[in-house]
Structure 1
Amino acid sequence: MEARPRPAANAIKDWGLSHRFAGSRDRAAIASIVYDALRQRASIAWRMGADTPRALVLGALGFVRGMAPDAMTASFAASPHAPDAPTEGEAKRLLSATLDGAPAWVLGDYPEWLDRHFARVFGDDRAAEGAAQSERAPLDLRANALKGNRDKALRGLEHLKAAETPLSPLGLRVPLLSDGRGPPVQSEPAFLKGLVEVQDEGSQIAAMLATAAPGEQVVDYCAGAGGKTLALAASMANKGQIYAHDSDIRRLAPLHDRATRAGVRNLQMRAPRGDADVMADMEAKADLVLVDAPCTGTGTWRRNPDAKWRMRESALEQRQSEQDAVLAGAARLVKSGGRLVYITCSALAEENEDRLEAFRAAQPEFEPVSPAQAAIAAGLPTVAQFANTAGDAILLSPRRSGTDGFFISVMKRKA
């Protein structure tokens, strides 16, 4: 990854293909260690006094997993493929190094250049917010109302010790395995029959706040693989019409099979076709347009810890122009009195509040629905406590809500 920056999953897969002596269990264990090192890279490097791959891995074993230097030495000696035992200097750091005097970006395990952006949103809590993003994410599922309910799903997954999520009335949380991975739920009958979908509780809440209702005309403008599309379709009870659109046809491909498994029958796919305006017939006709905008993904670092270290400031600038474009494109589809819901999986104000401010200045006919009103309308009154500082949107995060990070703004077009 150091030599050729790319997603960790790709690097780990390539390593496994070129190191056949490692069995599937070994590859899984190595991958888990790599992700632990990436989650807490800055704080590990601070305490180890180095940012080398070796220092990061030893630190992950010691600081994250609580493995003592003597235990590492014994474990490494048992395998011909293991690294050298910790040196005296490394062992000393593993036993006594602290984070005393570390800056917020080290305590929060995020890139230094992002510190001013995090400070703008979280202030003195930014280190704690970053640290929460450095923990392992839970495995959340959504009960599909088209096939049953949460009680039925809980019974079907009782052997996995599935439990109710605290915020979403449709959510289930499955404990992780000892190696930090989730059990293979996609092989479970409940998943194969469409009773449950893998979806973080925060994403479920974002879809519920849109309050898609039976009989409405609904557009998922940046549908991607369709996680929120399926949630919207379920809340519509297959009545009305939902249109799934995305600028990249490849992202829509998985939605065909997912919709069939979920029992969705009111879905139209609107894939791009060259320069054609495939949504022109929906102009000013939609009751609801949901914009799950392209973003930096700072809210998903628990699941993609390598992404925070690959992120560059230029990417943040690029995303802002893309967000402005999709908001403008989506707004034209909203009918008088209709709703426009803007969502990102980011906490950064540059992608959230700033974009809404620019959008509402250009299109004053859209006015924000207060977080309290939006939460009550969705049947989620407790979610109102997660209003952003400006008081015009919901801001979820691992520390605030125990979910992935999401920004959700509900707007209404004046009648």
Structure 2
Amino acid sequence: MALYAAAAAVLAGVESRQGSLKGLVYASSFQNVKQLYALVCETQRYSAVLDAVITSAGLLRAEKKLRPHLAKVLVYELLLGRGFRGRGGRWKALLDRHQARLKAELARLKVHRGVSRNEDLLAVGSKPGPASQVPRFVRVNTLKTCSEDTIDYFKRQGFSYQGRASSLEDLGALKGKCFLLDSLLPELLVFPAQTDLHEHPLYQAGHLILQDKASCLPAMLLAPPPGSHVIDACAAPGNKTSHLAALLKNQGKIFAFDLDAKRLASMATLLTRAGVSCCELAEQDFLAVSPSDERYRQVQYILLDPSCSGSGMLTRQLEEPGAGAPSKERLRALAAFQQRALSHALTFPALQRLVYSTCSLCQEENEDVVLAALQQSSGAFRLAPALPSWPHRGLSTFPDAGHCLRASPETTLTGGFFIAVFERVEVPSSVPRAEAPAPDLRPSQAPKRKKRRQKAAAAPSTGPDT
């Protein structure tokens, strides 16, 4: 019930221009921001359809105490969403009284417009594109369980396990209650698009992290061995931080920085639920962190995923239907910040490896920032040729730009992403070489059967998602 009230408040705030949709979601008091964000985005996308159905059914005339924005959220959930599924309280009872009329008006609207599917009622700019076909990627949190136990749990729930994926076509063909193990990341499960696991007990207990495949690549490519000291420079909302902690096996130290207090608070909840114990959070601007500070003298790995235009985000088309490219002025401002942050990160004296990533498709935030940082480093760093088999490479704007990775719904069935891996050319004489071997960046082989650790089937249900 609180979910629907929170969604209505966000919609009202967006309409009155109190802030952006995402900003208002994070500013709300509702804990499960991902669930809230998804509901608001979908309700807004179908806004014109919902207005037409509500008006034709006379819902607001019949229920004078029902506010328009709340009515829109409730009718979306009833007709186009997942249904109330045992929640909704008095609002569900209220909508049940009008359910037949509302469904009849939706059917009438389809006949009038000559369409058979709900999606066909949308305006052209709001219709789902390639992003709607991206599978649901689910990272198994190895701090709490293992892939084998999680797969067994889903199989006992009636899901059909299809084994390890061998191609993108395998991922795109997933339907119903089938799922796969990703071909590249051994802890990444793949479900059909639109699969919703926000209320699944394994997710709520922190055994699963709902994270796009492209978003999993930065931590995987950074590959800090257990015991390392790592900086996550712009850390919230925390999925990549939890992935780093899993790679470290909670052995070592992660210094995580972010300036947004509310996002940092949500991140703390996420990390606690995920069982992360090696992370130190700081509400601080990474640019103000001194590389000469004694606390960071052992930092050899940095993950930098700075603020960006978000032009590759899957949810952007839902929040801003038909939105075009960001303005040149905004791109210049973002790129200037990104370049400062990247150049600053490269000055940490013990740094050996850095991953720079964005969820942007714009050259100004990606290849141009990387080239500027390489030039400023005066040859101290180079680009590592990460994942040579990855099909989508960096734009050919300078030598070695092909070492960078790009991702998109069309080419990799993921969100839009960019990744560059920097490595130091020579190890400073004052810094001992890491004892761990250099990470193998080839696609992972099928994992061997592990000894069963904590049973996924016994996972308790905890609080809502952040």
TM-score where L is the length of structure 2: 0.60
Matched, 1:306 2:306: no
Map 1:3-402 → 2, pairs under 5 A: 6-7=20-21, 12=43, 18=68, 24=74, 26-27=76-77, 29=79, 79=104, 132-133=130-131, 135-158=132-155, 159=157, 160=159, 161=177, 162-176=179-193, 180=194, 182-183=195-196, 185-272=197-284, 277=289, 280-282=293-295, 285-301=298-314, 304-307=317-320, 309-310=322-323, 312-313=326-327, 314-333=329-348, 335=350, 338-371=352-385, 374-375=386-387, 382-383=389-390, 385-389=391-395, 390-402=401-413
The residue aligned with 1:67 is: none
Preserved contact between residue 287 and residue 344 of structure 2 (Cα < 8 Å): no
1:129-166 C-alpha deviation (Å, 9 max, x unpaired): x9534x34432110111122212122223335343233
1:319-370 C-alpha deviation (Å, 9 max, x unpaired): 112211221332223525x111100111211110001111111122443333
Matched position secondary structure for 2:312:
helix
Against the structure 1 CA distance between its residues 364 and 285, is the aligned structure 2 distance closer, same or farther, given a 3 Å change threshold? farther
Separation in structure 1 between the aligned mates of residue 67 and residue 219 of structure 2, nearest angstrom = 39
Separation in structure 1 between the aligned mates of residue 286 and residue 188 of structure 2, nearest angstrom = 39
The total of aligned residue pairs comes to 325
| Offset of residue 308 of structure 1 | 6.4
| Offset of residue 297 of structure 1 | 1.2
Preserved contact between residue 382 and residue 425 of structure 2 (Cα < 8 Å): no
1:361-399 C-alpha deviation (Å, 9 max, x unpaired): 11224433333xx33xxxxx643x433243121111112
Preserved contact between residue 138 and residue 173 of structure 1 (Cα < 8 Å): yes
Name whichever structure is richer in helix by fraction. Answer: 1
Separation in structure 2 between the aligned mates of residue 168 and residue 274 of structure 1, nearest angstrom = 29
Q: Percent identity?
A: 26
Separation in structure 2 between the aligned mates of residue 274 and residue 330 of structure 1, nearest angstrom = 9
Matched position secondary structure for 2:227:
coil
Against the structure 1 CA distance between its residues 401 and 86, is the aligned structure 2 distance closer, same or farther, given a 3 Å change threshold? same
Matched position secondary structure for 2:350:
strand
Preserved contact between residue 7 and residue 307 of structure 1 (Cα < 8 Å): no
Separation in structure 1 between the aligned mates of residue 266 and residue 336 of structure 2, nearest angstrom = 27
Against the structure 1 CA distance between its residues 297 and 76, is the aligned structure 2 distance closer, same or farther, given a 3 Å change threshold? farther
1:45-96 C-alpha deviation (Å, 9 max, x unpaired): xxxxxxxxxxxxxxxxxxxxxxxxxxxxxx9996458886777xx659x9xx
1:148-188 C-alpha deviation (Å, 9 max, x unpaired): 22121222233353432333221112334xxx4x32x2332
Against the structure 1 CA distance between its residues 85 and 201, is the aligned structure 2 distance closer, same or farther, given a 3 Å change threshold? closer
Against the structure 1 CA distance between its residues 363 and 138, is the aligned structure 2 distance closer, same or farther, given a 3 Å change threshold? same
| Offset of residue 273 of structure 1 | 8.1
Unaligned runs of 5+ in 2: 1-10, 23-36, 52-65, 83-99, 118-123, 160-176, 396-400, 427-466
Matched, 1:405 2:419: no
Separation in structure 2 between the aligned mates of residue 294 and residue 186 of structure 1, nearest angstrom = 25
Separation in structure 1 between the aligned mates of residue 406 and residue 288 of structure 2, nearest angstrom = 35
Structure with the bigger RCO (C-alpha within 8 Å, sep 6+) is 2
Letter in 2 for 1:18: P
Letter in 2 for 1:199: Q
Separation in structure 2 between the aligned mates of residue 305 and residue 81 of structure 1, nearest angstrom = 21
| Offset of residue 309 of structure 1 | 4.0
Separation in structure 2 between the aligned mates of residue 370 and residue 275 of structure 1, nearest angstrom = 24
Separation in structure 2 between the aligned mates of residue 266 and residue 211 of structure 1, nearest angstrom = 16
Preserved contact between residue 136 and residue 303 of structure 1 (Cα < 8 Å): no
Unaligned runs of 5+ in 1: 33-74, 95-106, 111-129, 376-380
1:90-114 C-alpha deviation (Å, 9 max, x unpaired): 659x9xxxxxxxxxxxx9x79xxxx
Preserved contact between residue 143 and residue 150 of structure 1 (Cα < 8 Å): yes
Preserved contact between residue 135 and residue 192 of structure 2 (Cα < 8 Å): yes
Letter in 1 for 2:254: I
Preserved contact between residue 245 and residue 270 of structure 1 (Cα < 8 Å): yes
Matched position secondary structure for 1:386:
coil
Separation in structure 2 between the aligned mates of residue 349 and residue 19 of structure 1, nearest angstrom = 39
1:278-319 C-alpha deviation (Å, 9 max, x unpaired): 774455541101101211112213564334645640332221
Aligned CA-pair RMSD: 3.8
Matched position secondary structure for 1:332:
coil
Against the structure 1 CA distance between its residues 414 and 287, is the aligned structure 2 distance closer, same or farther, given a 3 Å change threshold? same
Preserved contact between residue 218 and residue 303 of structure 2 (Cα < 8 Å): no
